[in-house]
Amino acid sequence: MLDIQKIRADFPILSEKVNGKPLVYFDNGATSQKPQIVIDAIATYYQEINANIHRGVHTLSQLATDAYEISRVKIQHHINAKFSHEVLFTSGTTHGINLVTNGFASILKPGDEVIVSSLEHHSNIVPWQMLCEKTGATLKVIPMDENGELIMNAFDALLSEKTKVVTVNHISNALGIINPIKYMIEKAHAVGAAVLIDGAQAVPHLKPDVQDLDCDFYAFSGHKMCGPTGTGILYGKEEWLNKLPPYQGGGEMIKEVTFEKTTYADLPHKFEAGTPNIAGGIVLGTAVDYLNHIGFHNIQKQEEKLLEHATKRLLEIEGLKIYGTGKNKASVVSFNIDGIHPYDIGSIIDKLGIAVRTGHHCAQPIMNFFCIPGTIRASFSFYNTIEEIDIMVEAVKKAKTMLS
């Protein structure tokens, strides 16, 4: 059993007041809060070893380079990648996905097909749309049902020898649905397609095993898993990363440059042009250590309790509808109240110190499917409590009374 109060003490912001009320932070899907150990590690980096990496022979540069590369190896082990050079530092999920779509521009041809799911965040729709426009490939979409689950028969029917890429999120940000990605990866590989998993919403809740999943790419953001903003990881299988051209040209991604021709550095540097977010990359390793110290088994147990309690309590409110009612769910509840705009509820409960996200959650196709402008999304983390959920439920009831 986790000692939640002890864990909460690790997060200074959780004892802040917002609008004069104790903060209830349920916007973890947008970004997680940061423990003191992560906040301190950023200061320590700048106070003690700040230098550019992979460049200098001087001691500080060596120290910074070592810390950065140790963090890469830590993350390699965390996601069970075969090689550390399959782990690329990025600025976040969006960056990772764009790196891949940029690479596929030189691979896809007219007539090829890319399959995305109807549950995607805009970050995993728009780059593929841009790629299809550039190459003449066609974008196909896996439909969903009323529970927010992808329809696997329809997915199977979309697959053919024309399918070159399948991409899907591990967990939907808007609904919290956990997708059957292992099945989907196997099916996609059977027709020779590459698979990119958008793991942005999965990594705060679970430890992905990229070798077991057998995905070709797995992209995620550091800031949703207790790490700093502007950090992220793109895992890519070695063979794919060797096949794709570099994303950006610049310093550090080269072997040799002449005006006639440039040869590129080996992995992972081929994809890491310019000075990266050094402090962020190092501290992402600290965040991973922190989460592993809490333990993902414990995290999941706590989050299951929160999800169950929130679902039960919210459904006591008349006229409240939850979107995303599939069986396999992360600790996210997306809901609306009959006849009330989600922004209005969100604004009133904000005055009571409760932070939720309202709107389309960068997933407009999902809102279009349900014919709604948006939802109120409460996304929980292991540091949230049952008491906080009760505070939110009472606040939502109050808002409903005020707005009815």
Which whole-number Å values give the CA distances from 243 to 106, 202, 216, 237, in the listed order? 10, 27, 12, 10
Amino acid letter, 387? E
- Is residue 30 a contact point for ligand C6P (CB under 6 A)? yes
Instruction: Report which of 271, 287, 185 is spatially closest to residue 236, judged by C-alpha positions.
Output: 271
Least Å distance, CB 174 to ligand C6P, is 7
- Candidates 53, 200, 389, 396; binder of ligand C6P (CB under 6 A) is 200
> Which residue is it, tokens 């009831």?
397
Residue range at the interface with ligand C6P (CB under 6 A); choices 153-161, 193-201, 290-298, 347-355: 193-201
CA angle (122, 123, 125) in 5-degree steps: 60
- Candidates 34, 140, 357, 360; binder of ligand C6P (CB under 6 A) is 357
- Is residue 78 a contact point for ligand C6P (CB under 6 A)? no
The SS3 call for residue 256 is strand
Structure tokens at 137: 């490939």
Binding mask 268-307 for ligand C6P (x = CB under 6 A): ----------------------------------------
Dist. CA 318–CA 197, nearest whole Å: 37
Give yes or no for a contact between 354 and 24, defined as CB atoms under 8 angstroms apart: yes
Total of residues contacting ligand C6P (CB under 6 A): 17
- Candidates 93, 98, 135, 167; binder of ligand C6P (CB under 6 A) is 93
Residue range at the interface with ligand C6P (CB under 6 A); choices 37-45, 260-268, 326-334, 354-362: 354-362
- Cβ-based nearer residue to ligand C6P, 124 or 163: 124
- Cβ-based nearer residue to ligand C6P, 49 or 217: 217
Residue range at the interface with ligand C6P (CB under 6 A); choices 40-48, 89-97, 328-336, 342-350: 89-97
The footprint of ligand C6P on residues 358-397 (CB under 6 A) is 361-362
- Is residue 204 a contact point for ligand C6P (CB under 6 A)? no
- Candidates 33, 94, 384, 385; binder of ligand C6P (CB under 6 A) is 94
- Verify whether residue 132 is a known catalytic residue: no
The SS3 call for residue 43 is helix
Instruction: Report which of 82, 14, 86, 113 is spatially closest to residue 383, judged by C-alpha positions.
Output: 14
- Cβ-based nearer residue to ligand C6P, 49 or 150: 150
- Is residue 113 a contact point for ligand C6P (CB under 6 A)? no
Buried b (16+ CB within 10 A) or exposed e, 354-363: bbbbbbbbbb
Least Å distance, CB 285 to ligand C6P, is 18
Dist. CA 315–CA 123, nearest whole Å: 31
Residue range at the interface with ligand C6P (CB under 6 A); choices 71-79, 87-95, 245-253, 348-356: 87-95
User: Which one from 132, 215, 362, 371 is the annotated catalytic residue?
Assistant: 362
Contacts of 174 (CB under 8 A, 6+ apart): 119, 121, 323, 324, 334, 360, 361, 363, 366, 367, 375, 377
- Cβ-based nearer residue to ligand C6P, 191 or 355: 355
Q: What is the DSSP string of 164-191?
A: EEEEEESB-TTT-BBP-HHHHHHHHHHT
Residues that bind ligand C6P (CB under 6 A): 29-30, 92-94, 121, 123-124, 169, 173, 198, 200-201, 221, 357, 361-362
